[in-house]
Amino acid sequence: MKIAVFGAGAWGTAMASHMAARHDVVLWARDAALMTQLTATHENSAYLPGSPLSPRLRFESDFATAMAHGTGERALCVAAVPVAGLRTLAGHLARAGDVPQNLVWLCKGFEADTGLLPHQIVAEVFPSVAGGSLSGPSFAREVAQGLPAALTIASAAPTLCELTIAACHFGALRIYSSNDLVGVEVGGAVKNVLAIATGVSDGLGLGLNARAALVTRGLAEMTRLGVALGGKPETFMGLAGMGDLILTATGDLSRNRTVGLQLASGKSLDEVLASLGHVAEGVRCARAVRDLARAHGVEMPITDAVCATLFDGLPARAAVEALLRRDARAEREDDGQPG
């Protein structure tokens, strides 16, 4: 299978290297210096240092050439850019003379200005493509090292799910399919915000009990919003919901958890982002999650607390204390009501 991967960050590089073991894969990035370094060393020292890439993986600096490689009925284009770059990339692909037929995106989050999920962005600028989201609990570094992982491809197009499984499901990587595109994308977006909260809790030394409570109640928040937006409740019990939340909230490789840890240490958001060096989607989409919840009448107190700490100057400890002061209520798991 011919596959073109657009975006040579950690996740795009890791997935391109994995797929190249069995398929004809080219990896494109707009950074010419990075492309030169990748070609010379076959290692992405900027994003995946110490992880040699598949010797079969090829690098392409010309966008049109890379796109042509992923064009065809049985070919695949993979968007490995952040949500903020998805609209631009999809627009470039849609305006090509011979447009790609199949597009999978790896990004997780809501578009900051519009509050749109990735599939809604693609539908606006590239409605003719068969598109889907590949999501789930996965750190790029571990995938690049060949360690086991399981992901979900969500799409309304069964043929795209089949192509993605054929492209990725081998070796240590398992791919499951779903037709709940909304649920899978909401899970991938909201878990980043909740991981910031668990990072704050861990950074303040509040203990494992507190972490478990945050993850569990955070899952309830995620499910309420996802169902309100059209997702299926059972999706949030799977890889793209609970699975991704557990990983991102507890794993030391999580950028969003790192944001919370550093906020708990007293650093400002600007200081945290300057030291991080990579995108933390939870910061980018936290406002969109909060605003969507309010617009749909969904109560998300943990998300509100994260936003207050990120954007309103509320100290991390004060945000936690505000959560602890909330009134007692019944735990309701299945009716979509606040709990």
Q: Which residues are annotated as a binding site for NADPH?
A: 11, 30, 47, 108, 140, 255, 279, 281
305 vs 301: CA distance, rounded Å: 6
Tokens standing for 2?
């011919």
> What residue spans of the chain are helical by DSSP H?
10-20, 32-41, 63-69, 83-94, 118-125, 140-144, 158-168, 181-203, 208-228, 244-250, 255-264, 269-276, 281-295, 301-311, 316-324
CA atoms within 13 A on the CB side of 281: 24
Which residues are documented as binding site for NAD(+)? 7-12, 140, 255
**Quick check: helix, strand or coil at residue 23?**
coil
CA atoms within 13 A on the CB side of 70: 32
Which residues are documented as binding site for substrate? 108, 255-256
> Residue 121 corresponds to which amino acid?
I
Query: Counting Cβ atoms within 10 Å, is residue 61 exposed (0-12), middle (13-18) or buried (19+)?
Result: middle
Which residues are documented as binding site? 7-12, 30, 47, 108, 136, 138, 140, 191, 244, 254-256, 279, 281
> Does residue 191 carry a catalytic annotation?
yes
Q: Which residue has the tokens 């936003």?
A: 307
Q: Which residue out of 2, 191, 232, 267 is catalytically annotated?
A: 191
Active site residues: 191
